[in-house]
Amino acid sequence: MPTTAPPLADATASDSALRRFLHGLPGVDTVGLEARAAALGTRSIKTTAKAYAIDLAISMIDLTTLEGADTPGKVRALAAKAVNPDPLDRTTPRTAAVCVYPDMAATAVAALAGSGVKVASVATAFPAGRAAPAVKLADVRDAVAAGADEIDMVIDRGAFLSGRYLKVYEEIVAVKAECGQARLKVIFETGELSTYDNIRRASWLGMLAGADFIKTSTGKVATNATPANTLLMLEAVRDFREQTGVQVGVKPAGGIRTTKDAIKFLVLVNETAGEDWLDNHWFRFGASSLLNDLLMQRQKLSTGRYSGPDYVTVD
């Protein structure tokens, strides 16, 4: 298990040390960041590159259902879709994972047994994270016990915004300790952190605490993943690896619905963090409707005809 390398060990020694470290990170100029993200969004990805990108994107999806109305039936249907996204074309890659609430994790584990598709479970009183620490940890233990391969936790945004960084850090460390073999994705809810400076600080805080992935958002607020906030997080994992040798994954979630969007994110990965992240072990999309759009575009590439929603499965 990766541990924080010596150069940064001091950063988490105390609340004030952590604050000094996070506030000492270079600032982010909003206009410049967004302009860079927009410029990369104009890359034109055609033919063979598009085919590669579509299959890669499908393989990176955490196919997600996080609704109060979720049932075992719904989760099983989603699992079937993850394993066999396009019944008309068995060469279609499987998605990376299925992402559910903890009480659905066991159902997902059973449905996906032997498929290679991982089970991700949200935890820590997702999406608000407003529960007692013990409750949050119990939530994680439940999910891990049910067999989840990955835990998507939310940070305490209230603590973060009020400057209690060490509290946020310690909570992540505690959750990580409960994860066992499961990989930990740390959700910042970037829409609530509001500023890019905060997103950069949260990224480093999460990585220092042992996150295996840093993830933009829950999908439950107005602003979720954007090219700019994902670009910023990709810069963070790139810089963190250069300083510590530890590679951390990135997961934009929420609001990525079209193939065009997904390809823009892959361009960001390619030209910011680099090709080491072009793999579903290091980059994921938290999405649901994205998959069908990718499948229709994939069908277009193989048949030359535009597809329609009647030619993909609706679950």
Partner 1 sequence: MASAFEYAPAPESRSVVDIAPSYGLFIDGEFTEAADGKVFKTLSPSTEEVLSEVARAGAEDVDRAVKAARKAFEKWSALPGSERAKYLFRIARIIQERSRELAVLETLDNGKPIRETRDADLPLVAAHFFYYAGWADKLDHAGYGANPRPLGVAGQIIPWNFPLLMLAWKIAPALATGNTVVLKPAETTPLSALFFADVCRQAGLPKGVVNILTGYGDAGSALVTHPDVNKVAFTGSTAVGKAIARQIAGTDKRATLELGGKGANIVFDDAPVDQAVEGIVTGIFFNQGQVCCAGSRLLVQESVHDEVLHALKRRLTTLRLGDPLDKNTDIGAINSAEQLARITALVETGEAEGAERWSAPCELPSTGYWFAPTLFTGVTQAHTVARDEIFGPVLSVLTFRTPDEAVAKANNSQYGLSAGIWTEKGSRILAVANKLRAGVVWANTFNKFDPTSPFGGYKESGYGREGGRHGLEAYLDV
Q: How far is CA 293 from CA 38, 54, 255, 263, 282, in A?
A: 22, 10, 13, 12, 22
Please report how close the Cβ of residue 304 comes to partner 1 at its closest, in angstroms: 16
Smaller CB separation from partner 1, 242 or 310: 242
Residue 193: CB atoms within 10 A of its CB come to 21
Please report how close the Cβ of residue 43 comes to partner 1 at its closest, in angstroms: 5
User: What are phi and psi for residue 41, nearest 5 degrees?
Assistant: -70, -10
Among the listed ranges 41-49, 104-112, 118-126, 202-210, the one in contact with partner 1 (CB under 8 A) is 41-49
Give the integer Cα–Cα distance in Å for 174 and 184.
Answer: 11
Catalytic residue at 152? yes
Among the listed ranges 36-44, 107-115, 154-162, 169-177, the one in contact with partner 1 (CB under 8 A) is 36-44
Please report how close the Cβ of residue 30 comes to partner 1 at its closest, in angstroms: 9
Among 18, 22, 33, 78, binds partner 1 (CB under 8 A): 33
Give the integer Cα–Cα distance in Å for 171 and 220.
Answer: 22
Among 22, 45, 54, 100, binds partner 1 (CB under 8 A): 45
DSSP 24-66: TSPP--HHHHHHHHHHHTT----HHHHHHHHHHHHHTEEEE--
Please report how close the Cβ of residue 45 comes to partner 1 at its closest, in angstroms: 6
Smaller CB separation from partner 1, 14 or 302: 302
Q: Under rule CB under 8 A, which residues in 56-95 are in contact with partner 1?
A: 56
Residue 221: CB atoms within 10 A of its CB come to 13
Q: Under rule CB under 8 A, which residues in 235-294 are in contact with partner 1?
A: 235, 266-267, 270-271, 274-275, 278
Q: Which two tokens stand for residue 238?
A: 């790139």
**Which residues participate in catalysis according to the annotation?**
152, 215, 251
